[in-house]
Chain A
Amino acid sequence: MERIPVLRMGSLLLITIQVDMHDKLALQLQDDVTTRIAEWGSKGVLIDISSLEIVDSFIGRMLANIAAMSRVLGAETVVVGMQPAVAITLVELGMSLPGVRTALSVEAGMELLYGAGAGFRTGSEDDRPEA
């Protein structure tokens, strides 16, 4: 059965959602994430939704569930790449995604999880080390 792949990068789990998910797929993902966290002892979960053109209440709840379940298992979740149209619609829908941290990009998400000095930044003009 098709599944959304869960990749491992050290203590980080990286998930990129690129398909229009039907409900079973979403539930499978929730399952897989929790299994993997337990199996690999992951400390961070990063979900990239930059390809998602729609987040309805079901998907929203899935994201919130993943964040909550992960936290219970000792891992923090960050959702990245939410499209503006999706954000506006979620606000109008009334969904606030409680307990879900968000960031603009994968890099920003990693920075949020591991801190600015962890070396994940792709660098901005003023981030050169002092001479």
Chain B
Amino acid sequence: MSDLAEIISRNQDQIRADWIRTMGKSVQRPDLISKTELDEQCETLLQAIVAGAKGGDSANIRNAGWSQAREFLEGISASRARQGFSPIEVATFVLSLKQPLFAAIRQDLARGQDKLFEAIWTATELLDGLALVTTEAYIATREELILRQQQELLELSTPVVKLWDGVLALPIIGTLDSARTQVVMENLLQTVVSTNSRFAIIDITGVPTVDTLVAQHLLKTITAARLMGAECIVSGVRPQIAQTIVHLGINLEDVMTRANLADAFALALQMSGRTVVRKASLAAESKGILAGPMNKQES
């Protein structure tokens, strides 16, 4: 390993120049990063590799000795992901170092074939590992962005509405995935507490399909609500979903369900001891709009 460190140190400028040339115009992306900055990044990485090669005894980049190189790569990968570089461009940044590095190794160790092979193998292992680090970091950054966007979309698309004192409704539109379901359900439970609502109607009329994971989350939410002292009613179960649920062997014995939101609402009202009554006196007093304004109720 320390052979590698020496070889790189001695030929740093040459290697760096070759490297940038090998990267090729398409990967350099002069539109996204300046030549000076790119040059600086190459220098920093080379120095980090020298430091790692000097300190460590192997190409295992998980070792502490390589943390400087790793952290540097993670940092620029993340920033490149945000800037709009493609994954290939980011990985090629590291991989294109191979050719100039091998060339330098060959030049230095031309006489000892075994040493030559060893050095080249170590170098290739190392650079492959570092390239994968960049890919990992790149993907992580993109996923973070996607997650954030999903969150924002989620908050916009699944409001919890109050139907009546103590009765909430959660109309869900669109496909439910595991992550979305979790967030939506947590939000529902939180609203149950903040509005002191004993009943929560989960309406899935707008949900085309339900898979095992989503069904489990739903059940978990219903159980959690019950633990808290509230009751959930699931409404709008389509025939297809009913079939899926049975096929998946999910037990819905303890769950209250209704065909539609209106029925679920009626049930919630009933369970909370309320009835909707048409006032007989009002009906009698209603003379129709042609007869003039209605009198105020006598009490």
Could you pull out 13 A-B pairs where Cβ atoms are within 8 angstroms?
A: A82-B228, A87-B189, A88-B186, A91-B223, A91-B224, A96-B227, A102-B226, A102-B229, A104-B197, A104-B228, A105-B196, A116-B273, A126-B165
- Nearest CB in chain B: distance from A1 CB, A: 31
Chain B residue with Cβ nearest A90: B227
Chain A residue with Cβ nearest B182: A88
- Chain A residues, Cβ within 8 Å of B221: 88
Taken together as a complex, chains A and B put the C-alpha atoms of A109 and B229 apart, in Å, by: 9
Q: Is B55 part of the binding interface, using a Cβ–Cβ cutoff of 8 Å?
A: no
Q: Is the CB of B189 within 8 A of A84?
A: yes
Taken together as a complex, chains A and B put the C-alpha atoms of A78 and B87 apart, in Å, by: 57
Q: Is B129 part of the binding interface, using a Cβ–Cβ cutoff of 8 Å?
A: no
Q: Which of B225-262 contact A (CB under 8 A)?
A: 225-230
- Chain A residues, Cβ within 8 Å of B229: 80, 82, 101-104, 108-109
- Chain A residues, Cβ within 8 Å of B189: 84, 87-88
Q: Is the CB of A131 within 8 A of B299?
A: yes
Taken together as a complex, chains A and B put the C-alpha atoms of A109 and B198 apart, in Å, by: 12
* Further 17 A-B residue pairs, CB within 8 A, beyond A80-B229, A91-B223: A82-B228, A84-B190, A84-B192, A84-B193, A87-B228, A88-B186, A88-B224, A91-B220, A96-B227, A101-B229, A102-B226, A102-B227, A104-B196, A104-B229, A104-B230, A108-B229, A126-B274
Choice from A80, A82, A84, A96 contacting B186 with Cβ under 8 Å: A84
Q: Is A69 part of the binding interface, using a Cβ–Cβ cutoff of 8 Å?
A: no
Q: Is the CB of B274 within 8 A of A87?
A: no
How many residue-residue contacts, CB under 8 A, span A and B? 60
Q: Is the CB of A84 within 8 A of B230?
A: no
Interface residues on A, range: 20 to 34
0/1 interface trace, chain B 143-182, chain A, CB 8 Å (1 if under): 0000000000000000000001110000000000000000
**Contacts A102-B227, A103-B229, A108-B198; is A125 near B165 (CB within 8 Å)?**
yes
- Nearest CB in chain A: distance from B129 CB, A: 37
- Chain A residues, Cβ within 8 Å of B166: 124
Q: Which of A63-93 contact B (CB under 8 A)?
A: 80, 82-85, 87-88, 90-92
- Nearest CB in chain A: distance from B108 CB, A: 59
Choice from A82, A105, A125 contacting B227 with Cβ under 8 Å: A82
- Chain B residues, Cβ within 8 Å of A85: 186
- Chain A residues, Cβ within 8 Å of B220: 88, 91-92
0/1 interface trace, chain B 195-229, chain A, CB 8 Å (1 if under): 01110000000000000000000001101111111
Q: Is A14 part of the binding interface, using a Cβ–Cβ cutoff of 8 Å?
A: no
Q: Is the CB of A91 within 8 A of B227?
A: yes
- Chain B residues, Cβ within 8 Å of A84: 186, 189-190, 192-193, 224, 228
